[in-house]
Structure 1
Amino acid sequence: MALQEGDFIRLRYTGRAGENIFDTTDEENAKEEGIYNPQAEYGPVTVRLGSHHIILGLEDELIGKEVGAEGEVEIPPEKAFGAHEDDAVKSVPVSQFREKPQRGTRIEAEGREGVVVDVIGRRAVVDFNHPLAGKTLNYSYAILEKVEEPVEQIKGLIKLFSGRTDIGITIADGTAELELPAAITYDRRWMVWRGTLVREIFENYADVNDVVMKETISRPKKPEAAPEIIETAEPEETNETEE
């Protein structure tokens, strides 16, 4: 059956800009291209078609395909990261930076992220366009399976948004409960994306009325006492000899 908007699928893909890979679900491709992130979880991703979890051009390519389909698609800028806009290139005073900016440095200024493309006197020229803006991209892909179970769908969204695979999920009586690992509040990526996750749960599962996030912190185990060593007296040596 042809895939349509609202379907969850497991997807493998590699994105290229020219000859360079900029994104991939394949660990070996990432290592070969020099973009490997040891903190990342590689492997197929779960996405919901129609929710823009992937760029528009790739999503359009997948809708209408069958599970098991493989292929390549060329995606123009307007269906990828947009055109490169001259208005997004700004001149920023060097005094706004903690350290002296240099060409190629990625910075945050005016509430946006950009890259320094030039430094002229006491001003830095910063490009706030997406690094791939204005570029035609090429994606190779494979649709591995359709994901039907809500728990597996939500697990896929958690991995997609936060990269985590250690969150337990149960759905019962209108409540989706997430069992969170201890100290997850120190995970910045999780804290940024958890609101989006909750919103998508409510949007996609009409029978879920509450989302409960439960973090359990267990009492630290007491260190085991070292076994008691009982010293025994060594037998006294004698100088007696038999007569």
Structure 2
Amino acid sequence: MNNHKKEKGDVMVEKGKLVKISYDGYVNEKLFDTTNEELAKKEGIYNPRMIYGPVTIVVGEEMLLPGLDEALLEMEVGEERELVLPPEKAFGKRDPSKVRVVPIKEFQKFNIRPVVGMPVNIDGNVGKVVSINSGRVLVDFNHEFAGKEVKYRLKLEEVVEEPEEIVKELVKMYIPSINTDDLKIKMTKKTVTINLPEVCSFMNNIQTIKMAIANEVIKRLGVDKVSFVETFEKKKEDN
């Protein structure tokens, strides 16, 4: 691990910078989250719907746990740290007020039979059934790791600074499944044109996603206009 003290002249990551990071997260020495596909498989938490590999985030914009965000502001590219985060720098302290009784009739409205341990979503709040007794269901809406110390291995892989790479990584932030090699970007001093793969046209909320990408590109690159092009190609006929 590279945990040396910073000397005068070392380059720090600034708040608002676009960076790529890798990480492994542990609770009670058990892996619960990672960007490493092989490690996920080895530890039995592999999710085939997950996209593994370094992730792009904006430093200091609460896209990470507070303790990770703070650490990145002190790190250099290529540096790796092992961090032990107290609850207030991780998933927060347990809040007794988030453990609530929900009438069983609320579940019956949706033909759901509650079971202890079942994850539930009530009015947009995600919780877990703790107990069931006489028509009353006790649900804990605290994060499952609230009140717990967590350990992370965090590596700052790269600071994204080239304009075209910034555009590609911003697209990937909002469309994680996209292969950036499939993106075609044209840039001038005042305009950016993004050619999206055909499959993006059928995504849910694609217009909202494009608006969010455009706003980020304009903010970061200072351009006046962002355009999206969707190309549809003739399908090859089967012989």
1:155 and 2:165 are equivalent in the alignment: no
> Structure 1 residues 178-187 or 125-134, which shifts more?
178-187
Inter-partner Cα distance in structure 2 for 1:144 and 1:164: 20
> Residues 146 and 111 of structure 1: is their aligned pair in 2 closer, same or farther, counting only changes over 3 Å?
closer
| 1:211 and 2:226 matched | yes
Deviations 1:164-213 (A, max 9, x none): 233515252433333333343554597886555444334333x2333333
Q: SS at the partner of 1:118? A: strand
- Cα-to-partner distance string for 1:126-168 (whole Å, 9 max, x where unaligned): 2222222222211112222322113223333433443223351
Q: Distance in 1 between matches of 2:207 and 2:69?
A: 27
* Cα distance per residue 1:32-62 (max 9 Å; x no partner): 2222111222111222222222222111112
Query: C-alpha distance in 2, partners of 1:191/1:106?
Result: 31
Match of 2:130 in 1: 117
> Do the aligned partners of residues 76 and 188 (structure 1) sit closer, same or farther apart at CA in structure 2, a change above 3 Å counting?
farther
1:89/1:125 contact within 8 Å kept: yes
Give the AA of the match of 2:43.
E
- Whose radius of gyration is greater, 1 or 2? 1
Cα distance in 1 for partners of 2:65, 2:196 equals 29
Percent sequence identity is 35
Aligned to 1:146: 159
Partner of 2:48: 38
How far apart, in 2, do the equivalents of 1:17 and 1:195 lie? 37
The 8 Å contact of residues 202 and 209 in structure 1, kept in 2 or not, is answered as: yes
User: Gaps (5+ residues) in structure 1?
Assistant: 225-243
Q: 1:220 to 1:30 in 2, by over 3 A?
A: same
Quick one: distance in 2 between partners of 1:55 and 1:187?
Answer: 29
Shift, 1:5, TM fit: 1.6
Q: Normalising by the residue count of structure 1, what TM-score does the alignment of the two structures yield?
A: 0.79
Q: Which residue of structure 2 aligns with residue 231 of structure 1?
A: none
Match of 2:39 in 1: 29
Aligned position for 1:68: 78
CA distance in 2: counterparts of 1:215 and 1:121, whole angstroms: 56
Matches of 1:119 and 1:208, distance apart in 2 = 57
Q: Tell me the SS of whatever aligns to 1:156.
A: helix
Q: Confirm whether residue 128 of structure 1 aligns to residue 144 of structure 2.
A: no
Letter in 1 for 2:229: K
Answer whether contact 1:47 1:156 (CA < 8 A) is retained. no
Amino acid at match of 2:195: E
Separation in structure 1 between the aligned mates of residue 155 and residue 50 of structure 2, nearest angstrom: 20
Contact 2:201–2:230 under 8 Å retained in 1: no
